[in-house]
Amino acid sequence: MNDGILVIDDEPMILELAALVLESRGYEVFQALSGEEGLRLVAEKRPAVALLDYMLPGMDGMTALRRIRQNHPETYVVMLTGKGNQEIAVELMKAGASDYILKPFKSHDLLERIGNVLRIRRAELSNLELLRERECLLKEIESWNLELERRIDEKTKELEAANKELLVSEKLATLGHLVAGMAHEIRNPLNAISLFAQVLQSTEEKGSERAGCVDKILQEVDRIDGILVKLLATSKRSHFAPEKVFLPEVAGRVTEVFSSTFKAHQIRLHCDFLPNLPRIMADASEIEQIFTNLISNSVQAMVGTGGDLEINLFHDDRFVHLIISDSGSGIPPENFSKIFDPFFTTKEKGIGFGLSVVLRIVKSYGGAIFVEGAEGKGAVFHIQLPWSRDVGEMEGKEALSSDSGAGIQS
Ligand SMILES: Nc1ncnc2c1ncn2[C@@H]1O[C@H](COP(=O)(O)OP(=O)(O)OP(=O)(O)O)[C@@H](O)[C@H]1O
Ligand SMILES: [Mg+2]
């Protein structure tokens, strides 16, 4: 701590005297003959205490005191006043002086007063420092709290998402057992109904009303069988046959199957497959199912309006990414959490299986699926499937990029 003392007095004798007394006690002393010079020295030397004469020519003592206290609050001021000026002394104390000494003063009196002010100053400054530290600590605690809250929020959301996934997989597992048994039980009598109906069909006169009824029975039986087949696909992995699968090839196969549908509904297909995509170890029919289910949802969302269907494939260090987006009716965000639930559908003739099958397959490969979009603004499905370097040797082909604008399927 700087214990320099600045004496400001227009009488050189007083300056000399005060300096002598103070220096004898080891203080560093600066001297100024006017208020102006005093202020300059305060700014330059930052003394701990200024001993300031009240009666100064030019800038008076009161003004100098105010300026020092305002601009350099760490410099404490002790005023020198003449006898009979007690009232003024009170004013000076109010204006920020720490003490006053009556002229003429005794040297031990001066030392004692200065010593006291220095002690008080040290205590006050260290209090101030403690308060500042406290303030800093409080701010730090506040920002830790905010960070903690943010992390708790983040973890809570992750936990909720994980719980939800768990719930869906539990639902799927339960459904799996139920469905496998049910499908088996239902398909036997269904088969019998179909056979009896076929017998009836062969005995009825073609084109008769009864023959028409039998046809309808057979159609409905087929529909039920179709649903059962879908149910089985949702719930269990039938013949898992892993091989090295090249996703652009699968995409090509599936979009080829859909080509006439695209044409019929004025859907323009845009494919953008980045070059050198790694192969993944998977069952090709399951990967086909992912494409089929997502594309058929997109087609259904664009029926009547036509639109654009985009398929993107690219990869990073860990995943092959598939993004299928359409310009169809879109999905309201409040449905995002439901669309993967088995049986959730907004379609009159939907069953609500497509996406739950996709989810089951993607999860079984350790992948993930995300959905984006808004009602009326189309839907975007983003799937990531892990690939590993041992199986995923790069396909050294050129970029398989096509666009219906360039004359590919539409
Ligand atoms: N591309 C899309 N655009 C708009 N809505 C979609 C899209 N894909 C899925 N959905 C919504 O998600 C729901 C669930 O889809 P999911 O494929 O599981 O069942 P579904 O298509 O209704 O019936 P299923 O696939 O069994 O025939 C749909 O009913 C629809 O509301
Ligand atoms: Mg569907």
Token pair recorded at residue 171: 């639902």
Closest CA relative to residue 355, chosen from 265, 302, 292, 304: 292
- The response to whether residue 347 sits with its C-beta less than 6 Å from ligand 1 reads yes
- The response to whether residue 301 sits with its C-beta less than 6 Å from ligand 1 reads yes
SS3 content of the chain, % helix, strand, coil (to 5): 55, 20, 25
The per-residue pLDDT string of the chain (410 residues; one tens digit each, 9 = 90 and over) reads 458 999 999 999 999 999 999 999 999 999 999 999 999 999 999 999 999 999 999 999 999 999 999 999 999 999 998 866 677 888 899 999 999 998 888 999 999 999 999 999 999 999 999 999 999 999 999 999 999 999 999 999 999 888 877 777 777 777 777 777 777 788 889 999 999 999 998 888 888 899 999 999 999 999 888 888 777 766 665 567 889 999 999 999 999 999 999 999 999 999 999 988 999 999 998 999 999 999 999 999 999 999 999 999 999 999 999 999 999 999 998 898 899 887 899 998 888 889 988 998 998 899 999 998 777 789 999 999 999 876 655 443 333 333 332 222 22
Ligand 1, atom 12: nearest CA belongs to which residue? 339
CA gap 157, 19 in Å, rounded: 72
CATH 3.40.50.2000 is right for the domain spanning 242-406: no
Predicted pLDDT at 83: 67
Predicted pLDDT at 393: 52
Q: Are strands 267-273 and 280-283 parallel, antiparallel or unpaired?
A: unpaired
Ligand 1, atom 20: nearest CA belongs to which residue? 352
Quote the Cα angle for 355-359-362, to 5°. 135
Closest atom of ligand 1 to 351 CA is 26
Predicted pLDDT at 410: 24
Rg for the chain, CA atoms, rounded: 45
Q: CB–CB of 192/248 below 8 Å?
A: no
Tell the CATH topology of 4-105.
Rossmann fold (3.40.50)
- The response to whether residue 58 sits with its C-beta less than 6 Å from ligand 1 reads no
Q: What is the pTM of this model?
A: 0.55
What torsion do the CA atoms of 120, 124, 130, 136 make, to the nearest 10 degrees? -160
Q: Closest-lying ligand to the alpha carbon of 341? A: 1
**CATH number corresponding to 161-235:** 1.10.287
- The response to whether residue 350 sits with its C-beta less than 6 Å from ligand 1 reads yes
- The response to whether residue 345 sits with its C-beta less than 6 Å from ligand 1 reads yes
Structural domain boundaries in the chain: 4-105, 161-235, 242-406
- Tracing tokens 């196969």 back to the chain, one arrives at 253
Ligand 1, atom 9: nearest CA belongs to which residue? 297
Q: CB–CB of 384/321 below 8 Å?
A: yes
